[in-house]
Chain A
Amino acid sequence: MQKHFTIIATLALLSFSFYSCDNISHKQHYSGQLMSIDSTITGNAVMQDYIKPYQLQLDSQMNRVIGVSSETLIAKKPESPLSNLVADIMQDKTAEYISKNKLESLPLFSLVNTRGLRSDIPKGEVLLRDIYEVMPFENQIVLVKLTGETVLALVDHIVKSKGDGIAGLSFTIEHGEAKNIKLNNKTIDTKAHYYLSTSDYLANGGDNYSMLLNPISRANIELKVREAIVSHIESLSEQNLSIEANNNKRITLLN
């Protein structure tokens, strides 16, 4: 084997020295760019015609005004008006479910992953389409019962994730650690039980919330996160109210 290699190597060396055309550099070239797709390009007509009927069907389903927003609401970490709003809505809808079903009375808080809120709520008229873009996922709201110990593990993970949307819970972050943690304005008792309203995505361990995988109990409140947002905005509209940003601090970064 080694001998065979040597022979080829020798041949190769010979050919290198004999053929002058190998002086052509064996450099190979590349160029790279991101080309803009914008209004300077006229769309392919065949494709536009193909898309049209889908577009019309979608418009008829989605371009319904469901409410008005007093400002543009964006979602960002550690906290933001939009993640606060969605967390508030989930907490409210779950509280309704608890009282309607006469469940045990326990402190309730909520959690939504900020990165799961995929767009903004625009200022002015809000279309059903906008809410589909904010919350495109078919996530269901679930109610899970946790020990205080698990709640603290969850808070640690929120800190590690640089914040997520919460309601009914607040803390400060100092040197990468959660301090002054309050659930419904009270200190958490590691042995006590608490209710969390969240999405089935997070309750199934999504975004590495693995501490939620084995709760004391879990129930589906039979409402999608998106349906909850739409229903909240529609009920504001019925009262001639617009969506207001809620800027009250839940996660405070110190340092």
Chain B
Amino acid sequence: MSHSRRNFVKTLTLASASAALLPTACSSNKDKKLTILHTNDVHSHIDPFPANDKKFGNKGGYARRAALVKKIRATEPNVILLDCGDIFQGTPYFNVFDGKLDISLMSKMKYDAATIGNHEFDSGAENLAERVKEAQFPFVCSNYDFTNSPLESLTKPYEIIKKGDLKIGIIGLGIKLQGLVDPRMCGNITYNNPIEVANRLAKKLKVDDQCDVVICISHLGYKYESDKVSDVEVATKSENIDVILGGHTHTFLDEPTIVTNLNQEPVIINQAGWGGVKLGRIDLTMHAHKKSKTLAYHKMV
């Protein structure tokens, strides 16, 4: 498909959508707002870091995060809470309780979805399968094929979550496990190309399923010097993805990064460091009478 043809189709979608919605949209010009909250690489930091920790003394903790999330849910109309993997491993809580406590706290906090990070396999695939079964939220893994593994049919390739009258499509991208996770721990998993999978599913979610927003929760890592697939690379080579929330590289982004995708549209990338010392937050405002193929965000001053 030539570049100009692609642009034509995009304009068409935009225009036809607004044509259909215009008569009512003029009278009710109400904005739709979505508040995205996200964590990554919490690494079993159930309690706040000890006071004498040089970097994060007395920061973090699940109970405080729960309080903050509750406060935001009380004031914002549509809140979605997501985790980008490496929930497990890093404090003795994981060694002693195998991630059971982490999953039950995330369920109590009403996480909407999470994806699997490489450290989720640290007690083996069977243990992870038990935790995934216990979780009261879905694990979205789009590019791992778990056929013949203990995780087979326990995760979702994508998920559609409704918040108010907003339809949010979720894709989950996992990192290549070979050379990173002991093969005896993760078992039989096929890693598929995250960019191909993400684009195929994002198109389905945005175009076929008419999602207002498509969010990718990723454990690929923010950016690499090498040619390893990263969130920035996925964003650059993507279509139909609005937001990429990341993990793995423990990156604290002072503000989200905006990357231009294949169609010169902006993609928002964010990552909230690690250890649960930060809660990532992105607020999106969409005009009610617009149902565009891709959101054209502008930074709110």
Contacts and interface: CB of A to CB of B under 8 A. Distances in A.
Interface of A: 5, 8-9, 11-16, 19, 21-22, 24, 26-39, 41-48, 50-51, 54-55, 57-58, 61-62, 118, 120, 122, 129, 132-133, 136-138, 200-201, 204-208, 210
A26 B22 contact: no
A68 to B, nearest CB: 15
Interface in B8-40: 12, 15-16, 18-19, 22, 25-26, 29
B3 interface: no
15 contacts: A8-B12, A15-B18, A15-B22, A30-B285, A32-B256, A33-B280, A35-B68, A37-B60, A43-B61, A43-B63, A43-B67, A51-B47, A51-B63, A201-B182, A207-B180
Interface residues of B, number: 79
User: From DSSP, what is the main secondary structure of chain B's interface residues?
Assistant: mixed
Contacts of A19: 22, 26
Contacts of A22: 18, 22
Residue among A8, A33, A55, A201 with the highest chain B CB neighbour number at 10 A: A33
Given A21-B26, A47-B105, A13 B15 contact: yes
B6 interface: no
Given A5-B12, A19-B22, A122-B52, A28 B47 contact: no
Interface stretch (B75-83, B194-202, B203-211, B269-277): B269-277
A136 B19 contact: no
B108 A50 contact: yes
Contact of B46 (A30, A54, A62, A132): A54
Interface in B168-193: 178-184
Residue among A22, A37, A38 with the highest chain B CB neighbour number at 10 A: A37
Interface of B: 12, 15-16, 18-19, 22, 25-26, 29, 46-48, 52, 54, 58-68, 70, 89-97, 101, 104-105, 108-109, 122-123, 178-184, 252-256, 268, 270, 272-273, 276-287, 289-290, 292, 295-300
A33 B63 contact: no
Contact of A30 (B26, B60, B268, B277): B268
